[in-house]
């Protein structure tokens, strides 16, 4: 380990786990929300492993608990019970500061409504992340990856929904995250734009080897995954391995 890395406390990033080894391990996850006077059981004891480099689709109807699971994996939320680890990081006992650091260093998020900063151009939205990341790609590289090199200086209000989502993906992957978590990434898009966005996600997963989890209620998307985890009523009801992954262009819904 070089002196520079030692000074920066880096000892786990550059040695990515070999493909196929578990990176996320969750046991008996439960999550109870209090919505006013009603208790909502979003997760009712869930066991799950995500493997390095795989593309997982978490499939389920709305209210099944899949977003809650994704938020816990991404360090946005903490479970009420059970354990969840990302490699050597315990995500249950971590305080706000450690969760922020975890998100900053390891996780890329993509949301249904893009969540771009409207006052920043495409390039600047990405620079926002690359400035605080350790070994990012340049904003230009990230935008080239999503085929938007020609829209770099456009503001979000000047881009279509699909283009905005691709900027969001570029922003999520620019820091070379270990894991990319996508919450209904095509939920607000028409089918053509949706397929372009899914193509970009598949490419990132293939070319950068980023572990990718996509949650959706759209069963058609499941065909492009390595594994499909079906969630119902806060539990995993079914896990299916795809021996033949479909290409995003061939999907239809």
Partner 1 sequence: MLDRKLRRDLLRMKGQAAAIALVVACAVAAYVGSTTTYRALRSSNEVYYDRFAFADVFAELRRAPRSLASRIAEIPGVGTVETRIVADGPMDIPGFAEPATAHVVSIPPGGPRLNRLVLLSGRMPEPGAGEALAGDTLLKLHHLRLGDAVTVALEGTRHTLRLVGTATSPEFIFQIRPGDLLPDDAHFAVFWLPESDLAAATRLDGAFNNVALRLAPGARETDVLARLDRLLEPYGCLGAYGRDRHVSHRFISDEIRQLQGVAVFMPAVFLGVAAFLLNVAFSRLVGTQREQIAAIKALGYGNAAVGLHFLQLAGVIVLLGTLVGTLAGAWFGSAMTRMYALFYHLPLFRYELDPSAVASAVLLSLLTAFAGVAGAVRRAVRLPPAEAMRPPAPPRYHATLLERLGLGRLLGPVGRMILRSLGRRPVRALLTAVGVAAAMAVLVLGAFLDDSITWMMDLQFRRAQLEDATVTFVEPRDPAVVHELHAVPGVTAVEPFRAVPAVLRAGHRTYRIGILGLPSPAALHRISDREGNLVALPAGGLMLTDKLADLLHARPGDDLDVDILEGTRPRKTVRLAAVVPDLIGLSAYMELDSLNRLAGHGPALSGAFLSVDPAAEQALHRRLKDAPLVAGVLLQRVAVASFEATNAQYLLFFTGILVLFAAVIAVGVVYNSARVTLAERERELASLRVLGFTRGEVSAVLLGELAVLVVLALPLGCLFGLGFSALIARNLSSDLFRVPLIVESSTFAFAALVVLGASLLTALAVRRRIDRLDLVEVLKTKE
Site residues, partner 1 (CB under 8 A): 67, 71, 74, 76-77, 96-97, 100-101, 103-105, 107, 109, 111, 113, 115-120, 124-125, 127-129, 131-132, 155-157, 171
Q: Which CB sits closer to partner 1, 160 or 237?
A: 160
List the one residue out of 145, 160, 154 whose CA is nearest residue 192: 160
Residue 125 near residue 155 (C-beta atoms within 8 A)? no
Torsions phi, psi for 44 (to 5 deg) = -120, 50
Nearer to partner 1, 32 or 51 (CB): 32
- Burial label for 28, CB within 10 Å (0-12, 13-18, 19+), is middle
Q: Please, which residues have CB within 8 angstroms of residue 90's CB and are 6 or more apart in sequence?
A: 83, 84
Rounded to the nearest whole angstrom, what is the least distance from the CB of residue 180 to partner 1 in the complex?
13
Instruction: Tell the smallest beta-carbon distance from residue 157 to partner 1 (Å).
Output: 5
* Nearest distance from C-beta of residue 77 to partner 1, angstroms: 5
Q: How far is the CB of 225 from partner 1 (least distance, A)?
A: 23
For partner 1, the closer of residues 2 and 157 by Cβ is 157
Residue with Cβ nearer partner 1 (171 or 227): 171
Q: Which SS3 state, helix, strand or coil, does residue 23 take?
A: strand
Q: How far is the CB of 113 from partner 1 (least distance, A)?
A: 5
Q: Which is nearer to partner 1, 156 or 248 (CB)?
A: 156
Q: Which is nearer to partner 1, 77 or 147 (CB)?
A: 77
The token pair at 30 is 């439960």
Asked if residues 197 and 186 have their Cβ atoms less than 8 Å apart, the reply is: yes
Q: For 82, which DSSP code?
A: E
Min dist. Cβ of residue 36 to partner 1 (A): 13
Residue 35, strand partner residues? 38
Distance CA 110, CA 44 (A): 25
Residue whose entry in the numeric block shows the structure tokens 């989890």: 213
């Amino acid at each position: 380990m070089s002196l520079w890395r030692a000074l920066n406390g880096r000892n786990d990033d550059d040695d990515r786990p070999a493909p196929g080894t578990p990176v996320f391990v969750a046991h008996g996850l439960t999550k109870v929300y209090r919505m006013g006077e009603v208790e909502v059981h979003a997760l009712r004891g869930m066991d799950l492993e995500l493997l390095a480099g795989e593309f997982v689709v978490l499939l389920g109807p709305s209210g099944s608990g899949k977003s809650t699971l994704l938020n816990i994996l991404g360090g946005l939320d903490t479970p009420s019970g059970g354990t969840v680890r990302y490699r050597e990081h315990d995500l249950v006992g971590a305080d706000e500061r450690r969760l922020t650091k975890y998100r900053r260093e390891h996780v890329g998020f993509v949301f249904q409504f893009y969540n771009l900063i409207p006052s920043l151009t495409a390039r600047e939205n990405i620079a926002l992340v690359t400035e605080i990341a350790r070994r990012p790609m340049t904003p230009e590289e990230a935008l080239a990856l999503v085929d938007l090199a020609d829209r770099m200086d456009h503001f979000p209000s000047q881009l279509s929904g699909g283009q905005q989502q691709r900027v969001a993906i570029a922003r999520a992957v620019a820091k070379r995250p270990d894991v990319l978590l996508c919450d209904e990434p095509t939920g607000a898009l028409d089918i053509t734009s949706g397929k372009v966005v899914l193509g970009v996600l598949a490419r990132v997963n293939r070319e950068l080897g980023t572990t990718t989890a996509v949650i959706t209620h759209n069963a058609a998307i499941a065909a492009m995954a390595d594994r499909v985890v079906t969630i119902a009523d806060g539990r995993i009801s079914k896990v299916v391995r795809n021996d033949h992954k479909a290409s995003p262009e061939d999907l239809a819904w």
